[in-house]
Amino acid sequence: MNILEPLFSEIIISGWPSGDPLPPGVTGVSDNYPGMGPLGGIEAALRSLRSQYLFVFGCDMPWLSEELIKEQANEFLRSPSDILAARTAGLFEPLHSIYSKSIHPAMVTYIEGGGSPAVIDFYRLVQTGHYDLPQTDRTKKALTNINRPEDIIR
């Protein structure tokens, strides 16, 4: 939260269990399309979003980098698109990307039409730019997922 609060006017947590307490100033939303994985969470966040753009990251990424987020946001402002998807070594990082609220109707149509839950499969339907993250230790750490206790040691 310390990194996010100074950078963003609103913070939304998708998939938050209804009734569970939230940190102050944070909005929790439930998935409107259970079983769609992160794509369903992105849709729910876009639906409730008051601003025009959404920075999405995985809740299991505890070491986000303020500098990387700012660099990516600056690139988005220089070259606007519907989605600015981060890439490392040529592979998309859909959970370190910027999404425009304007794509919400297309995402709903895609999901309701039986689209794949893979976020990158949706990319081809809208204007998707990419931002190549620098291949540094800072980037590797920022993109690290913590799914098991032993992951913390890595």
CA-based nearest residue to 82, from 98, 71, 95, 66: 98
- What is the per-residue pLDDT for 116? 96
- What is the per-residue pLDDT for 143? 77
45: part of which helix (H) or strand (E)? Answer: helix 37-48
Domain 4-153: which CATH number of 3.40.50.920, 3.90.550.10, 3.40.50.1820, 3.40.50.80 = 3.90.550.10
Tell me whether strands 83-88 and 11-14 are parallel, antiparallel or unpaired.
Answer: unpaired
- What is the per-residue pLDDT for 150? 66
- What is the per-residue pLDDT for 153? 62
Phi and psi for 91 in degrees, rounded to 5? Answer: -105, 135
**10 Å Cβ neighbour count for 47?**
15
Residues of the chain with confidence (pLDDT) below 50 = none
Global pTM reads: 0.89
- What is the per-residue pLDDT for 46? 97
**10 Å Cβ neighbour count for 56?**
22
- What is the per-residue pLDDT for 154? 56
- What is the per-residue pLDDT for 145? 75
- What is the per-residue pLDDT for 43? 98
85: which strand partners?
130
